[in-house]
Structure 1
Amino acid sequence: MTGTPRIVVPPSRQVLADGVYEQIRAVIMNHGLEPGARANIEELARELDVSGTPVREALARLESEGLVSRLPLRGYRVTELLTRKEVEDIYGLRLLLEPPSAEAAARAMTPTFATALEEELATCPAAPAGSTYEGYKALTAHDARLHELILRIADNHAIEQAFTRTHCHLHFFRLSYNQPFGEQTITEHRAIVSALAAGKPTAARAAMTHHLETARDRLLSRF
């Protein structure tokens, strides 16, 4: 007696597109495709065993993040790493925007906001053991979410949008590849959240300033 035939449901188009995007992104972040290298659509499609369509969609998403750039009539290339000047400029912008926003967020603090901050901290309680993108992906995502949450609590939509458009967390990680920094980042995040949850504007501003300056100096030491 034969059993009921197993029906294999193919992955949805969106699931496939998201998977291809994550795989190509990981290759770039791990320097499997070096900065400046051409991202060949046909080669990537063969390696991932997919058609060219999800690869094109993934590269368009990665272009919006600044990880690849379009070459007229020639596809895409991986963007170069940030220069020292670019790192200094981005942190200069962040130091103008984020410490005052942390102060404003502390003034606007409510129990609901404090809970949201603590819950975000809990998503990444410890630093990853490895130093590859796969290991640090969760910390990188948490870092971006926490900073965006603080800006949202501060209720300045223009600053929040400006910060999001930089995609700075991705590009900073590319620079600090194989350079562990997780424990320091988590400790600094806890200090910021502690000041915010306690509704201490001056302390929140100081903690954010310290975090940004320390993170900037860690990256600049790579140069």
Structure 2
Amino acid sequence: MYEGVKAMIMDHEIAPGARVSIEGLARQLDVSATPVREALARLESERLVVKRPNAGYRATDLLDPDALLDLFEMRLLLEPRAASLAAENASDDELGRLRAIVEEMRRQPDLGEKYSDYRRFAALDQEFHDVLAQAAGRPLLADAVNRLHAHLHMLRLNSAPGSVEATVAEHEHVLDALVQRNPEKAAEAMATHLRSSRVRHRPQPPTPRPARGRTAPR
């Protein structure tokens, strides 16, 4: 149920900003209201829906350019520092987990437009950043990174088809620096990855269409 409603939000079947009716979803999905309510509570924790007093749930709006900039500025403050600390503090088990995540990411197909096409890749991408933050050995820092839910909100804007190879390569550069126990190199590799990701997930302008009833210029 949770993944089904989440897919509807990620694919904009539930439009950004739209009211989400528990009863309406229950009828549409042929279930009782209880699992829908539980799913929406989980989605609220991920900031994909918000609950308003006496108004129920609505899907959160898409990030506008200013909000996207704010998100990446916050990530650039937190995650290079986390990478630097992880280069010093990560255990061999944590480095092994990061290596396994990168290897599985490499086996994923290029991203499609539907949430079902990129769900596993997005989960692995988020896991890489969360495990790295945990490996820094600073619980408050790790919690701050996790609470951003950055990957979900970026992918609602633009799933950036074809970005699998670039993302995996950038993660490998970060991991190489961690394995080398090089804090400066790890921080710079993470900052480079985040700046590249910001470009990949920048909202794309709509393709212009010729006006109806007119001949397109040749």
Q: Which amino acid in structure 1 is aligned with residue 50 of structure 2?
A: S
Q: Is the CA contact 1:106–1:204 (under 8 Å) kept in the aligned structure 2?
A: yes
Q: CA deviation at 1:24?
A: 0.1
Q: Which amino acid in structure 2 is aligned with residue 194 of structure 1?
A: D
CA RMSD, 1 decimal: 1.7
Which of 178, 182, 188 does residue 164 from structure 2 map onto? 182
CA distance in 1, matches of 2:9, 2:163: 20
Which of 128, 151, 169 does residue 146 from structure 1 map onto? 128
TM-score by length of 1: 0.85
Q: Which amino acid in structure 2 is aligned with residue 120 of structure 1?
A: I
The CA deviation string for residues 54-94 of structure 1, in whole angstroms up to 9 with x for no partner, is 11111111111111112332321111001111111111111
Q: CA deviation at 1:178?
A: 6.0
Percent identity between the two aligned chains? 40
| 1:165 paired to 2:178 | no
Q: Is the CA contact 2:44–2:50 (under 8 Å) kept in the aligned structure 1?
A: yes
CA distance in 2, matches of 1:177, 1:197: 30
Q: What secondary structure does 2:50 align onto?
A: strand
Aligned to 2:118: 136
Which segments of 5 or more consecutive residues in structure 1 lack a partner in the other structure?
1-19
Q: Which amino acid in structure 1 is aligned with residue 53 of structure 2?
A: P
The CA deviation string for residues 163-192 of structure 1, in whole angstroms up to 9 with x for no partner, is 111111110110114644222111111111
Q: Is the CA contact 2:106–2:165 (under 8 Å) kept in the aligned structure 1?
A: no
Q: What secondary structure does 1:123 align onto?
A: helix
Matches within 5 A, 1:1-223: 20-129=1-110, 130-177=112-159, 179-220=161-202, 222=204
Distance 1:188 1:182, change over 3 A: same
The CA deviation string for residues 29-51 of structure 1, in whole angstroms up to 9 with x for no partner, is 01111101111111211121110
The CA deviation string for residues 83-136 of structure 1, in whole angstroms up to 9 with x for no partner, is 111111111111111112211111224433321221222232234342311111
CA distance in 1, matches of 2:140, 2:90: 20
Q: Which amino acid in structure 2 is aligned with residue 156 of structure 1?
A: R
Which segments of 5 or more consecutive residues in structure 2 lack a partner in the other structure?
206-218
Q: Which amino acid in structure 2 is aligned with residue 193 of structure 1?
A: L
CA distance in 2, matches of 1:116, 1:182: 19
Distance 1:167 1:110, change over 3 A: closer
Q: Is the CA contact 2:133–2:142 (under 8 Å) kept in the aligned structure 1?
A: yes
Q: What secondary structure does 2:57 align onto?
A: strand
Q: Which amino acid in structure 1 is aligned with residue 89 of structure 2?
A: A
TM-score by length of 2: 0.87
Q: Which amino acid in structure 1 is aligned with residue 180 of structure 2?
A: A
CA distance in 1, matches of 2:82, 2:176: 15
Higher mean displacement: 124-133 or 180-189: 124-133
Q: What secondary structure does 1:144 align onto?
A: helix
CA distance in 1, matches of 2:203, 2:170: 18
CA distance in 1, matches of 2:45, 2:91: 34
Q: Is the CA contact 1:102–1:201 (under 8 Å) kept in the aligned structure 2?
A: yes
